[in-house]
Amino acid sequence: MTIPTDPETGEFKRAPNRFTARITADGADGWPAEAGRYRLVVSRACPWASRALIVRRLMGLEEALSVAIADPIQDERSWRFTLDPGGRDPVLGIEFLGEAYRAADPDYDGGISVPAIVDIPSGKLVTNDYPQITLDLDTQWGAHYRDGAPDLYPEALRDEIDEINRAVHRDVNAAVYEAGFATKQSAYDDAYRRLFARLDELSERLAGQRYLVGDTITEADIRLFTTLVRFDAVYHGHFKCNRNKLTEMPVLWAYARDLFQTPGFGDTVDFDHIKRHYYQVHEQVNPSRIVPGGPDLSGWAQPHGRADLGGRPFGDGTPPGPPPRHEVVPPQW
């Protein structure tokens, strides 16, 4: 895997999302939210893709929007479907996600990323715009939500959620990569400083309230969770984000456990996929490709005490039921 960094500054530069069409209730972009029409392609290793898995579970979209789980180890040809019989996705009939990208644009030669939503009839990629994908799953698929689905993006709180999301993206979600992929000390130092300053600020915010915005789970919590759940397993050591482990930050550790133990969160997390992807794919960071044995994961099941802060995880809604049998993650510990 080639990591794009600026040769002068040593800063990691993430490429912008190339395919940004939206799937909406009214189909204004030409892509209406229709049950059975699309396939969500994810890797359980990827934090951006994990957001979409969580939202899909919470909103009860499993029957309306099928999912393809890619092998956590991609090669130069892109994310691959080697977990499926014959090495092909059984619905799309392709071996590599890159095939859907090129079906949408035969001249495309950029990166192949997840999450990606593919139009099943044409085999064409619709979108890889991960920030918008979850917002649209939150708001545009209403005809297909389960009974009791929560409101993850309440209209009255959207400005505050958006503000938190911008800060968390810049200084947490993206900063861990900017620290880990930096090739000059100054680039690393800047990302490291921003990361832990923001985590300290979030700790203060969450010391007195159960969730980031309001008294229910929102899109903001999902976006922070997918970085926190990977922190000790990969970011602390592999990406040199090592001022503290998550388990050494009491408020954030309890907050992350609270979410992990909430239906729809921990039941989408696969630590085996996470560790194998980061340590075996990022050869520039880990040339030996050795996957470490730790950390001990059993702490994720320990009591968190966060319910004492009040809050209603699903608002006026209800928890999702168990995941479909074919999507159950193997026991983690």
Q: What is the pLDDT of residues 196-209, one digit of tens each?
A: 999 999 999 999 99
Using alpha carbons only, how large is the chain's radius of gyration in Å?
A: 19
Catalytic residue among 46, 130, 188, 211: 46
Return the structure tokens found at 192: 């490291």
Antiparallel, parallel or unpaired: β 116-119 and 124-127: antiparallel
253 known member of a binding site: no
| Tens of pLDDT, residues 217-254 | 999 999 999 999 999 999 999 999 999 999 999 999 99
Angstrom CA distances, 91 to 66, 69, 83, 94, 123, stand at 9, 12, 13, 8, 10
Of 212, 185, 187, 186, whose CA–CA distance to 201 is shortest?
A: 212
pLDDT, one tens digit per residue, over 136-184 is: 999 999 999 999 999 999 999 999 999 999 999 999 999 999 999 999 9
Strands (E), the chain: 38-42, 66-69, 116-119, 124-127
CA dist 97 and 41 (Å) reads 8
| pLDDT computed for residue 5 by the predictor | 81
- Pairing outcome for strands 116-119 and 66-69: unpaired
Domains of the chain: 156-327 (1.20.1050.10)
Six token digits for residue 71: 């092998």
Among this protein's residues, is 177 annotated catalytic? Answer: yes
Q: pLDDT at position 13, please?
A: 81
On the question of a cis peptide bond just before residue 85, with omega within 30 degrees of 0, the verdict is no
The answer to whether the CB of 311 falls within 8 A of the CB of 254 is no
Give every CB contact of residue 61 below 8 A, 6+ residues apart in sequence. 55, 137, 141, 144, 145, 146
Q: By the 8 A CB rule, do 252 and 203 touch? A: yes
Q: Which of 38, 101, 153, 177 is catalytic?
A: 177
| 108 assigned to active site | no
- What are phi and psi for residue 94, nearest 5 degrees? -115, 155
- So what's the pLDDT on residue 123? 98
On average, the pLDDT of the chain sits at: 96
Q: How far is residue 105 CA from its own chain's centroid?
A: 25
